[in-house]
Amino acid sequence: MSSYSKGLEGVIAAETRLSFIDGEKGVLEYLGIPIGELASHSTFEETVFLLWNGRLPSRDELDAFNAEIRRRYDPSKEIARLVMEMPGSGEPMHVIRTLVSAFGLFDPSPNAIDLPSIRDKALTLLAQTPTILAYFQHHRRGTAIVLPDRSLSLAENFLYMLNGKRPTPTMAKALDVCLVLHTDHGLNNSTFSARSVISTESDIYSALSAAVGSLRGPLHGGANEGVMKMLGQIPTVDSAEAFIQDKLARKEKIPGFGHRVYKSYDPRASYLKVLARQLAEDTGNRDLYEKSARIEAVMDREKAAKGIYPNVDFYSATTYHCIGLPLDLFTPMFVVGRIGGWSAHLLEQLADNRLFRPGVLYTGPHGVRYTPMSER
């Protein structure tokens, strides 16, 4: 090894056609299409089709893809039973990780990694992860399960199953947009984890379980929960500035700000900011949005010159709260979106696979004498 980069920063470990990021200019594209255009005009299902097939679908193709996803909303009896056997005190991210792995127990060919098999298994996981989350929410609340409705899109169906009533068009659109924005993002930690596992020619369930475990971390997908907790600690809009200044004085990190890649405004945050404001107005959460805006104003004044701007987690927290999601379902919704992107990367990795095996810079001693037990 000729060089060492802590955290693999700046190291190129894979080639991809799926998403492009320019952190200096604040650009994110899926297959060359700017993320703002997809968020404005596409749907989550169409975005997944794009990533899995390398092109946008025709109307007939999209209708068929939607129908295939909806046909799989209902989990098997075995998976449904496992959901209901999870401890109600369990964290949803641990539940998802466990159940994604458990799918492999009931798959007659769990180790098949040919591309059609990976695609088929990914479709099932994509369709049923929201169902599992909704089932678990009812299980831990002690309320009756709401069965999937195949006439609804993935985002609509999840909110319907969660709340027992059809969501408003605004709420369904908001969740759909969040899923689009979260679908893929280069070789982030969870995507790298998934590609690394599948590069051993392991199985999709192992690869995606590893990805879920990675995403759970507060330095990755778990950051949006930290944003919401912070907002809850600020009693009023007018007290937001003093709260942030106090944290900065103690050299504490502000949840939802800064990114390893973006040194300008995260394009996903730009879109979510507008969405969060609209939702806050519609749902009576204007103060929550105003707190966020006040925090951003302080951080813009204090930290923007250092390239620290809001990231996707900052305004997604407000968005998820406004559509009625419990705090510990914020990161699981990130999983729902990212399964589409992770699966696309698995397909891409397996199409031209090479085992990931980086080197390591040894910093220990050499030639150390073994000390016999009698001399210790």
Q: How far apart are CA 303 and CA 259, in angstroms?
A: 13
Set out the domains of the chain in order of their start, with CATH numbers. Answer: 19-218+327-351 (1.10.580.10), 223-322 (1.10.230.10)
Task: Report the candidate in 206, 207, 208, 175 with the shortest Cα–Cα distance to residue 329.
Answer: 175
pLDDT exceeding 70 applies to what percent of the chain?
99
C-alpha distances (whole Å) from 320 to each of 208, 247, 328 are 23, 25, 11
Q: How far apart are CA 220 and CA 104, in angstroms?
A: 26
Q: How far apart are CA 196 and CA 109, in angstroms?
A: 21
The amino acid at 196: S
Bridge partners of 22?
27
- Is residue 139 within 8 A of residue 83, CB to CB? The reply is yes
pLDDT (tens digit per residue) in 304-348: 888 899 988 889 889 999 999 999 999 999 999 999 999 999 999
The residues, ordered by sequence, that sit 6+ positions from 337 with a Cβ below 8 Å of its Cβ are: 44, 178, 179, 180, 181, 182, 183
Q: How far apart are CA 279 and CA 318, in angstroms?
A: 9
pLDDT (tens digit per residue) in 50-72: 999 999 999 999 999 999 999 99
- Is residue 266 within 8 A of residue 310, CB to CB? The reply is yes
* SS3 assignment, position 187: coil
- Strand pairing category for 19-22 and 27-30: antiparallel
- Is residue 129 within 8 A of residue 336, CB to CB? The reply is yes
- Is residue 201 within 8 A of residue 113, CB to CB? The reply is yes
pLDDT (tens digit per residue) in 192-234: 999 999 999 999 999 999 999 999 988 888 778 889 999 999 9
Task: Report the candidate in 179, 175, 188 with the shortest Cα–Cα distance to residue 19.
Answer: 188
CA 274 to chain centre: 20
pLDDT at 266 over 70: yes
pTM across the whole model? 0.93
pLDDT (tens digit per residue) in 141-183: 999 999 999 999 999 999 999 999 999 999 999 999 999 999 9
C-alpha distances (whole Å) from 293 to each of 103, 175, 276, 318, 330 are 42, 21, 10, 11, 20
> Crossing angle, helix 223-233 and helix 330-351, to 10 degrees?
160
If you count them, how many residues does the chain have? 376
* SS3 assignment, position 58: coil
pLDDT (tens digit per residue) in 22-54: 988 989 999 999 999 999 999 999 999 999 999
Task: Report the candidate in 240, 251, 212 with the shortest Cα–Cα distance to residue 332.
Answer: 212
Catalytic (active-site) positions: 220, 259, 313
Q: How far apart are CA 212 and CA 220, in angstroms?
A: 11
Strand arrangement, sheet containing 19-22: 19-22, 27-30, 33-34
Task: Report the candidate in 73, 92, 88, 43 with the shortest Cα–Cα distance to residue 331.
Answer: 92
